[in-house]
Each structure stands twice: as C-alpha cells, then as structure tokens.
Structure 1
Amino acid sequence: MLRFWPVKRNPVKRPTPIISGLDRCPPEICEYIFSFACTDDGTTARSLSLVSRYIYQTSTIYRYQTISVMGVDKMLSLCVALEKTPLPRRPVRHLFATHHKIPANASSRPLSRRFTVDLIYGKSSLTQMATSIKDKHEEPTNLQTFRAVVRLLGLVSSTLETLTIVMPSKTQGFAIPLPLHRLTALTELSIYGMFGSHTAWIPELSYTLPKLQRLHIAGPDTNQYQTPWLVRLAPALTHLRLTGVEGGRGVHIPSILEDILALPHSPHNYFPSKPYPRHPAIERIIVQYRIPPLRLQSDFEHSLFLGSLVVLQSIINEYAHDDVVALKPQLWHDDTRRQVMEAKELWVSRVQGGLGCWDEGDQMDLHI
C-alpha cells in the first residue's frame, strides 16, 4: 500500500514594507516641516503626495499653499480640484497665474548670446517664429480667460496673501480681471499687462484692499490714471514699483508720482488730475523704465523718454529724495516666454523670503 507523506513547505516570506523616517513622525511635526518645504511653485507639495499614504494625508493642507498655474485649461482644472476640497483643507496663500502655456523647464534667461543679439537687433529666429505661430493658434479667447481668472480668484480670495498675475495683452480691449470678492488677506500684488481703458473690474466705492502693503505694476498695458486709483484702494500700502509702464499708452511716470505724493504739478505734467492728499502710508516708490530696442525707437519716443527722465530727476532732487528710487533702465522685449518666466522667478523669490522685485541694488544715479 502506497503512503503519501505530507511535504513541508516553507511559508513564502513577504517583503516587509519600508517605512521612512517621516512615516514615524507625529503628524504635527510633519505638518510643521511641510509648511517650510512647500514654498516653491507647488512642485514639492505634489511630490509629497506620492511618497506614501501617510505623507499624502499629512501634507494635504499644504498641497495648495503655493500654486503656479499656466494656461486656461490648467486654471479650470485647478478650480475643479479646489471646489471638491473643503475650504479648511485648501488654504491657498501664494498664487502665480498666467493664461500663457510655458514649458515646465523654461527659464527667463536667454538661450544663448546669439539669441540675445537677435532680440536686440531684430534678427528673426526660426524657432521663435514657429513658437509664436503655434501659440497664436492655441491662445484662448479673452472671454475664456476672463471667466477662468474670475472663477479661480473667487475661490481663493479669502486666504490669498501674495498674487502675481501675468497676462500681457496683444490687443486692446482685454484687461486683467480682479475678483469682485474682497481680498481681505492680500498683502502683495504684482500685475503684468493691465490695459486700463477697458477695465474689467469696477469695485464699489467702499472697496478696499485693507492689508495690501506692496503693489507692483509692470508692462505697457496700463493707463495714466489706473495706478493712482489702485494705490488709493490700499490704505496700508507702503511700497510701490512701476516697471516699464510708460510704453505705448501715453503714460507719464512723473505725473503719477506727483498725484500719489501730492507734489506740485510740474509744467511738464500732461495729465493734470484732481488733487488728492498724500497717501498716508507710502514709504518707497521704485521706478524702472524699459526702453525699446534702437530699431523700434522713433525720435519722438526717444525725446519723450529723455524728457521723462529729466522731470523724474527734478522730482527726486527737490521733493522725494527719500521716497523715490530709480533703477537703471532695462531693454524692453516682446518675448512672452521670457516675460512670464521672469515674473515667476521674482514671485518664487518672494515666497521663499527673498527680495524679488523689491531689490534696489541696481540704482540709477539721478542726484545732482
């Protein structure tokens, strides 16, 4: 009779899951660490959500702390994600938004010395031409952009502390829309490419930006009266920067300074306005001109630029020696990619505690 003896089998040893050091930390300590780590453009927060289930849960509150969104489709996707997340778990504190699609690894620095020379002297690059043609076909309409920005800012208006919005407009009639909701927590605002004659944001007379301390307006898409108007909405404003706002819209920077600081109007003030008292909290105004390349300058534009510098010099020497700082002019360029990435680098610097656009190291000597 045959007998079958049972065969002893060794149990299969399953691999022990590797537990990282952070997985052993209490959630309070992890959240404290993540609050300092998530200060870039949002890359760190997204990476933390892929580490482990525990890290995913403990980093949830900081996943939307700092956000950089490029493109209308990305804005709409972000709106959907925010609407699905309870408000206490999505406190957006720092936001960079633009409707232009820029590659993730793009930089504001020129690709080469030849690329820089091409921008200055007007030699067209085949790559640049192909990119501009592609972007022209994929660029969303003004109405789509307007609705996306209003929807996004409406979702984050109660917690937003710093906002940089870059939307240089190629055509008149498009403005950067600010939300009708009150930005009660906003302390720093940078606006690139605002066109004032078609303002998309008409606030109530009692509307204010109560905590706004720093305002940066950049780009030629603005008008003469928009900057003083925004300054009056911010009673706590201490710092103002104007970068390249004088191009193309008849903006006279010395006249803006005279309105904000309540200075006597000079004979060269081409935009006399109703006199207002000096802003109660303003401490520093930084001005930086952006001159166009020589190939785009006319004699009239060149004379306006020199005349504005002369009046600015007079204002600084006579009235605003400690209030106004003039930085050395930068070369104006029409490369949207560089403009967006330059603004993003300044925004990241501010989020990480740097000076960003408030660096006064490259001053122009206008004192006599």
Structure 2
Amino acid sequence: MNILDRLPYDLWHIIFQLACTDGGRTGCALALASKACRRASSSARLHSVHIHSLRNVRGFLICMERIRRSTGEYPPVHHLLFSFLPETCDAPVRAWRTNWTDYARNERAMLMQLVNEHREWNTRKIAWNRGFVHHVSALLARVAGTLHTLVVLQSRDVRLPLVHCRLPALRELTLLGDDRMFVRVPRPGVLVPREGDDSDFALYDVPLPSADGPGGVPFPALRRLHVVYAWSKLHPWEETLPRWAALAPAVTHLRISQGSAQVAQTIRDMLGLPPPLVPPSPPTSNRNAADDGDVTVPESTPASPAVAGPTYPSLRLVIVQLSRAPKWTSSVTAAAVLAQRCEVEQVAEACAHADGGASQAWVSVLRSRRYDDEYWPRRLLREWRERMSGGGGCWTEDEYDEDERWGVSEIGPLPKRERPLTLDLRSDGPERTKAAKKWWQAVFSLRKRRAL
C-alpha cells in the first residue's frame, strides 16, 4: 500500500503547503521523489516560488505549462519573490574597467572606447528588457488569480522595465528601492548620470498603469504595502507613492523604511493633515545649557485647521523608519536629519490627538538606522518566509526586529520620552550615561571575576 494512501488528500495538501515555504526547493524535491508524490503535490508544490533571473522565469513558465498538460490546470502560486540582484540576475551590467589606465591615453580614443562600450551594453540591455516584459508579464498573468504576497528585490545596477500587471488577489507587496515595475509618472524622469538606460524612457508598448483601464484597478485587494528607500530613483518616491492610492485603493498598512526628507510631507498629504505653520527646526542648545550638554527641541506653532481631504483615506497604520546620518557626516547634516525625525514625530502626534474629523490612521515612528547594502535583501527574504507562516514580519512595530546588521538585535524598545533627550546628532539615540568598555578592559574584568 502506498504511504500516500494512508492519509486523505486534504491532509497531504496541508502538509505540502506547510513544507513548501522555502521558495521552491522542497517542491523540486517532492517532484523528484516519485511519480505518485509528484501527482499528489502538484497543487501545493508551487506554494512559494523564488525567482532570481530571466532564465528562471522562462524555466518556470515551462514547468507550469507541463503541469497544466498533466493535470488540466495551472498550479496555484500563493507567494512569489523576484530577486533581480547583480549577483544572481542574468541582466547585462555595465562593465567599467578597473583603472583609468586601462583606457587609451588619447582623449579622443578614450571617448570612443566609452561610447562603444556603452552602445554594446545598451543593445544587450534592450534585448533583455524586451524579454523581461514579455515573460514576466506572462508569469504574472498566470498567477494573478492565486498570488497573495509579492516581493521585488532589485538593485540600482539592474533597472527594470514596466510590465503588464493586474493582480486581483494580491494582499501584500514589498518593494526594495524602486516601484518602476508597476508605476511610472507620465512626464519624463530625471536621467541619473552613469545609471540610466533605455528602460527609463521606453515602455516597450506597455500602457501606463491606471485605474481607468479596461481591467480596472490593478491591485484591488492589496492591504499591506512596504517600500524601502535605498537609492535615488527615476521618479522620486514623493511623486510615485501617492499614485498607489489609485492603483491600490484598499491599502490599510503602509511601511516606509529608510525614509528621506520628504516623508513627513508625503504622509501629511496622504492622511489629509495640515502643514505646520512653522517648519520644525533641528534641536539647538541655549547658552545656559551649553555647558551641561542639554538639547532642547522648540515647540512648533499649532497647524492651521484648513486642509484638503486625504489622498489615501484607506490607511489605518503607517510605520516610518528614517535613515540615520553617517557617523562621519557634518554637524549641519546630522542636525537636518534629526529635524526630519522631529517633523515625522509631529505628524504622529497630530494623528494620535486627532479628533473625529481628522485622519483615523495611526503613525508609528521607529528608531532611525543606517544599514549595509546587503541588509535589506536578507531581511526581506526572511520576512517573506515568516509571513507565509502567519508571522508579523515588518508589521510588528517591535524595535527588537529593527536590528543593526544580520537579524540579531541587542537593543531594547524605545524609552518613553518624558522630557527632551540629550541626543547625539550623529547616532540619533538616547544619551549614554556611561561609555562602553574597551576590549582590554572587558578582558581584564572577566579575568578578575574568574580569579575571585
């Protein structure tokens, strides 16, 4: 008797779904186990899929077609992650020479080398873009009816074109660095030096996304949207993020990570909050408290009650995490970054004390941090898997999850502010009453305790 016949198919389906949460490795193992196991797990084997190149997209489409021919329908895909990063993606990347001495010493000859290399790269990138639009649009069309979560990891070195997309069942979307796959502003964007390519301006016969299209709203069921500001983009986030109100009108949870200086005003517009009469200024210390190191934050004038309606009325929770200034930055820049944090906190306070006629959203401001380039791809992959199992992911508002590097946090939750804190402008954290021990002091203390 086959072991698969000992339990009902409904139980096996649940078991296969709980097992296939690693992006496809377990599903491949189930397909190679036996013919019976392949047939029994066909409806759950693609529960989660992790794709990291255009070659994977083509192979996955072939796999789905084979399953359709054997079972009569396409297998459901509930969780999808695109990881188009230079380390694994097959997109052509600009091949800059190691040293300038590798180029010709003659200025005219060097210019010709640069032009020819750019022309060769641009030709290969255009061909890759056209293949990307065709195959990714076909993939999203096949999984549109069952896809629940989608994560797009990308890099500034691999610029993605706009694709045909309508996902009626999508409930959660995470975007790293850019939303150019789904949103474009009609007017031309800003060509970033040494970064732009043909996909910045050519749409490859893809119409601009709109809620008035023949298919209706592209993301009607989307509830949670997480965007990560990572680098300068073709159209700034303050221009593209408000457009999601028309593309995904049912979003209730919005998280902005590594936010920029315009985050506060963007949130005010989306929630329908009035702008402050007096812009918040960075904390300054008066002459009497200069010797003690106390920093006072001036109170802003109450905002004007006249304000237009919210542009994103469905929002109920907004989590904001700003980018921290580097430790080597100047005091002026650090003070400006801290002033941005104070402005976002004013928005959160305005929402917390709002009456019935104002915004009903709750704004949560997390501790400002600065991460390595490899941090967000690792973390978003981990949170994608956690959300499949019912975990909170990035929506927990827990400072323990906002770790500094690889996922192990050594900091506690933010203390309750009863008075203005003495802040270090470069670290944006509470005052340190005692300096950390050096390594030789820690070793000496440990040996002393052991000797006792």
Same fold (TM over 0.5): yes
Question: Residue in 1 aligned with 2:168?
Answer: 184
1:356 Cα deviation (Å)? 1.1
Give matches, 1:178-257, under 5 Å: 179-194=163-178, 197=189, 198=200, 202-206=208-212, 207-208=216-217, 209-220=219-230, 221=233, 222-246=236-260, 251-257=261-267
Structure 2 unaligned spans of 5+: 89-120, 190-199, 281-306, 354-360, 400-412, 419-452
Say whether the 8 Å CA contact 2:148–2:172 is kept in structure 1.
yes
The amino acid across from 1:258 in the alignment is R
Q: Does 1:334 align with 2:367?
A: no
Question: Residue in 1 aligned with 2:312?
Answer: 279
**SS of residue matched to 2:147:** coil
Say whether the 8 Å CA contact 2:226–2:254 is kept in structure 1.
yes
The amino acid across from 2:11 in the alignment is I
The amino acid across from 2:321 in the alignment is Q
Question: Residue in 2 aligned with 1:343?
Answer: 380
1:275 Cα deviation (Å)? 4.3
CA distance in 1, matches of 2:24, 2:52: 12
1:72 Cα deviation (Å)? 2.6
Q: Does 1:81 align with 2:63?
A: yes
Question: Residue in 1 aligned with 2:151?
Answer: 164
Say whether the 8 Å CA contact 1:96–1:164 is kept in structure 2.
yes
Change (3 A) 1:258 1:320: farther
Give matches, 1:24-39, under 5 Å: 24-39=6-21
1:227 Cα deviation (Å)? 1.3
CA distance in 1, matches of 2:316, 2:370: 27
Q: What do residues 285-306 of structure 1 show as CA deviations (whole Å, max 9, x unaligned)?
A: 00112325324x3555423311
Q: Does 1:359 align with 2:346?
A: no
Say whether the 8 Å CA contact 1:316–1:367 is kept in structure 2.
no
1:175 Cα deviation (Å)? 4.7
CA distance in 2, matches of 1:63, 1:144: 29
1:162 Cα deviation (Å)? 0.6
- Of all paired residues, the percent bearing the same amino acid is 26
TM-score by length of 2: 0.59
Question: Residue in 1 aligned with 2:421?
Answer: none
Q: Which has the higher contact order (CA 8 A, sep 6+)?
A: 1
Say whether the 8 Å CA contact 1:217–1:245 is kept in structure 2.
no
The amino acid across from 1:82 in the alignment is M
Question: Residue in 1 aligned with 2:197?
Answer: none
CA distance in 1, matches of 2:161, 2:262: 21
Pairwise CA RMSD: 3.0
Number of positions where the alignment pairs a residue of Structure 1 with one of Structure 2: 301
Q: Does 1:302 align with 2:334?
A: yes
TM-score by length of 1: 0.72
CA distance in 2, matches of 1:298, 1:224: 26
Say whether the 8 Å CA contact 2:323–2:368 is kept in structure 1.
yes
1:235 Cα deviation (Å)? 2.3
Q: What do residues 332-363 of structure 1 show as CA deviations (whole Å, max 9, x unaligned)?
A: 3233xx43222111111111111111121116
Q: What do residues 214-253 of structure 1 show as CA deviations (whole Å, max 9, x unaligned)?
A: 000113344212112113432221100001142xxxx511
